[in-house]
């Protein structure tokens, strides 16, 4: 008699309230994809979503710049905030190029994302690899206990295995788990939040939920605020059904707010105002 291994992501998808969040996200995404502007100017919407997503992700990592300043600036080699903005912009530009590799080797993609984010700002031997025992981590927003290097390595392998195995779980659930697990592990010495949110973006694009990358969840995470982000993440860390469901719902709301942002972009383009 053959047995089928349990699908832990699908189990999360069955938690109370998660199905409603998934359904709400799907309806919101379908609405913006049905906007008439998307038939002719989707590339412009994608570009604007990338810019706004990068700004939102950077804001959560402590660089809360005005959108127009992000749009105007060309040099991000200055102080720490400038470097965070530059890293966020580079990551959003890179995300769409890594979809095929993600399906084959998620750990390679994570290494590449950290390399792109660091951009030469960290010691060469610390870039693009999980941290070693005793190495510090710069991630001021997340104050949860830091897992040891051995635990990080084991859990990264487990996360990779889940992705490679595939799942019947909705894209929102997988994206939320990838995001939450990377925040929990903080596997690199720097830019873990930016990398985690970019990985979430990759899952949403690659799953087919948001193939044109016009629903920037990073915008929604920033709009809900850093305190709400941390509180929801604590639910993920708890591992309880209620906590996990709350984190997934928070990520779902972030996607919906990203949809709202891009819908406004579509309306502006339709009026000729953007």
pLDDT tens by residue, 232-241: 999 999 999 9
Q: How confident is the model at residue 76 (pLDDT cuts 50, 70, 90)?
A: confident
Residue 2 confidence (pLDDT): 41
What average pLDDT does range 114-141 have in this prediction?
Answer: 85
Q: Is the pLDDT of residue 274 over 60?
A: no
d(CA 62, CA 242): 29
Burial class (CB in 10 A: 0-12, 13-18, 19+), 223: middle
Residue 126 confidence (pLDDT): 81
Question: What's the pTM value of the predicted model, to 2 decimals?
Answer: 0.94
Q: Is the pLDDT of residue 68 over 90?
A: yes
pLDDT tens readout for residues 14-23 = 899 999 999 9
pLDDT tens readout for residues 163-172 = 999 999 999 9
> HSE of 207 in the Cβ direction (CA atoms, 13 Å)?
22
Nearest Cα neighbor of 18 from 251, 225, 234 is 251
Q: Which residue has the tokens 């060309």?
A: 74
What average pLDDT does range 13-40 have in this prediction?
Answer: 96
CA 168 to chain centre: 20
């Amino acid at each position: 008699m053959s047995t089928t291994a349990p699908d832990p992501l699908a189990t999360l998808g069955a938690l109370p309230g998660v199905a409603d969040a998934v359904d709400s996200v799907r309806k919101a995404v379908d609405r913006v994809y049905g906007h008439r502007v998307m038939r002719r100017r989707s590339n412009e919407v994608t570009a604007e979503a990338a810019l706004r997503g990068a700004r939102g992700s950077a804001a959560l990592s402590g660089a809360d710049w005005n959108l127009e300043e992000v749009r105007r600036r060309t040099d991000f080699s200055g102080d720490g905030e400038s470097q965070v903005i530059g890293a966020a912009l580079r990551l959003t530009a890179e995300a769409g190029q890594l979809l095929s590799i993600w399906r084959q080797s998620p750990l390679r993609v994570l290494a590449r994302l950290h390399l792109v984010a660091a951009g030469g700002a960290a010691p060469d031997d610390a870039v693009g690899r999980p941290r070693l025992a005793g190495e510090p981590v710069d991630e001021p927003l997340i104050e949860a206990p830091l897992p040891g290097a051995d635990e990080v390595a084991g859990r990264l392998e487990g996360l990779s295995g889940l992705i490679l195995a595939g799942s019947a779980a909705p894209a929102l659930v997988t994206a939320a788990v990838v995001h939450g697990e990377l925040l929990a592990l903080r596997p690199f010495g720097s830019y873990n939040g930016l990398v985690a949110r970019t990985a979430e973006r990759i899952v949403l694009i690659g799953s087919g939920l948001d193939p044109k990358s016009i629903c920037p969840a990073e915008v929604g995470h920033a709009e809900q605020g850093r305190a709400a982000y941390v509180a929801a993440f604590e639910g993920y860390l708890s591992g309880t059904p209620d906590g996990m469901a709350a984190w997934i719902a928070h990520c779902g709301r972030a996607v919906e707010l990203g949809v709202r942002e891009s819908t406004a972009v579509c309306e502006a383009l339709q009026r000729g105002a953007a």
